[in-house]
Structure 1
Amino acid sequence: MTELALDIQGLDVAIAGTPILRKVTLQLPQGSMAGLIGRNGAGKTTLMRAVMGLLPSRSATLACAGESMAQLPAHTRAEHGISYLPEDRRLIPSLTVEENILLPAWANGLGDARRRLAWIYELIPELLEHRERKALQLSGGQQKLVALARALMPGRKLLLLDEPFEGVAPVLSRRLTEVIAKLRTEGLTVLLSESDDKHSADLVDRIFRIERGVVRESSATH
């Protein structure tokens, strides 16, 4: 039986009393890559934030690699190898590229941070060239690469990528696609959200459609 990197069953999320997600069921086998496709406001970010423990939720099952996450505080998700790339990047402008990448390691006391950093620089070598630059000095697309690298620092099992291509110039969108495609060979499980499947169609194994807080698996791409 294939181990599930992410197992969500019957997930409900309400914000200020308004239901946002309704009985969401979504399962990702270990090492798979899936797209979460839906228009703005459909609930993509809410779902990812609920998995990260950043929003209160109710569910029958919310587990990563067979371990229940439902009652764990949000700050412990990184310790369990789960990481999140928010749409708005949320880098600290005054810190350097390398400092931004290392932030999760400092916050979570990761003992192998330097080894992990070397792997990230091998995966995204252009960041090594920019490691001493302030995040504020980078373009939007370059900042997305830094934010992805930061997510990779603790993200050893599951990566949640929220609109990674949004607002990025075409040349850097292609570069992001290349980097994300390489993650498949690293055994990581990836859930990637987009408003359409323009960028993700050739990356993912399966597609989930979300509309008005309801998720349905629509297809396997290959």
Structure 2
Amino acid sequence: MLEARNLSVSIAGTPILRNAALTIERGTTVGLIGRNGAGKTTFMRTVMGLQKLSSGQLAIQGKYLTEAPAHTRAAMGVGYMPEDRRLIPEFNVEENILLPLYALGQKPDPARLRWVYDLMPEIARFADRKALSLSGGQQKLVALGRALIVGRNLLLLDEPFEGVAPALAQRLIEVIAALRGEGLSVLLSESDHVHSSKLLDRLYVIERGEIERAQLAAA
């Protein structure tokens, strides 16, 4: 589903990713674990086409996207949940969820929206509320819903549990676990894998922009 080969990225002349490599197979959930500043968000943004590569190759579903603009990812069924949520405060919940479809010039798919609401009934209950009025944890759920509205094949979830209350972190774990039965491929980043340990099929560790495969602890 995703293959990243020898990705190198520099920002303002400073190397951030160094020959980073990672593979995600269809229907698997993969963790990318690293301390703050290790390069997790840069890797996610690079996969999404939001950060320019210095060198390396990137392919999604066998299609090389090294030079492709960011919007091509959404059209390929890739959803992205950034660490800082990036909701539009003046839009209500449903408008934020549907935003990627509007950006692609596509009409909303009522069946897909119902599926998102069935998966997370709590956001359906405040669909008409402005994003500005929501708690940080509620905004995380809405950002996940926005990623899911287009993410039919691959989801990139950057620090989904960061800064949320334990109860909401547990709710996010439940939702992500439910996606395993949907055939989605998921890349999930965390500073450690305390929350995600039972969700992962494969684990990678990133340190100073370099990625290594790690062994998952036995259940």
TM-score of the superposition, structure 1-length normalised? 0.95
Task: Tell me which residue corresponds to 1:95.
Answer: 91
Letter in structure 2 aligned against 1:7: E
User: Does the residue aligned with 1:7 lie in a helix, a strand or coil?
Assistant: strand
- Residue 110 and residue 116 in structure 1: after superposition, are their counterparts in 2 closer, same or farther (change >3 A)? farther
Q: Does 1:161 align with 2:140?
A: no
Task: Give 1:18's match in structure 2, choosing from 2, 5, 14.
Answer: 14
**Change in CA separation of 1:67 and 1:221 when aligned onto 2, cut-off 3 Å:** farther
In structure 2, distance between residues paired with 1:95 and 1:130? 12
Fraction of identical pairs, as percent: 59
CA offsets per residue over residues 9-30 of structure 1, 9 Å max, x none? 1111111111110111100110
Report the CA distance shift for 1:113/1:221 in structure 2 as closer, same or farther (over 3 A).
farther
Report how far residue 156 of structure 1 moved: 1.2
2:215 is paired with a residue whose SS is strand
| Runs of 4+ off more than 4 Å | none
1:145-184 to structure 2, matched below 5 A, reads 145-184=141-180
CA distance in 2, matches of 1:97, 1:73: 27
Of 173-182 and 105-114, more deviation after overlay is shown by 105-114
CA-to-aligned-CA distance 1:84-109 (integer Å, 9 cap, x gap): 11111111111111111011111112
Letter in 2 for 1:6: L
Q: Say which of 187, 200, 210 aligns to 2:196.
A: 200
1:123 Cα offset (Å): 0.9
Counterpart of 1:64 in structure 2 is 60
Unaligned 5+ residue runs, structure 2? none
- Find 1:36's aligned residue among 25, 32, 51: 32
Instruction: Tell me, yes or no, if the aligned pair for 2:98 and 2:108 is still in contact at 8 Å.
Output: no
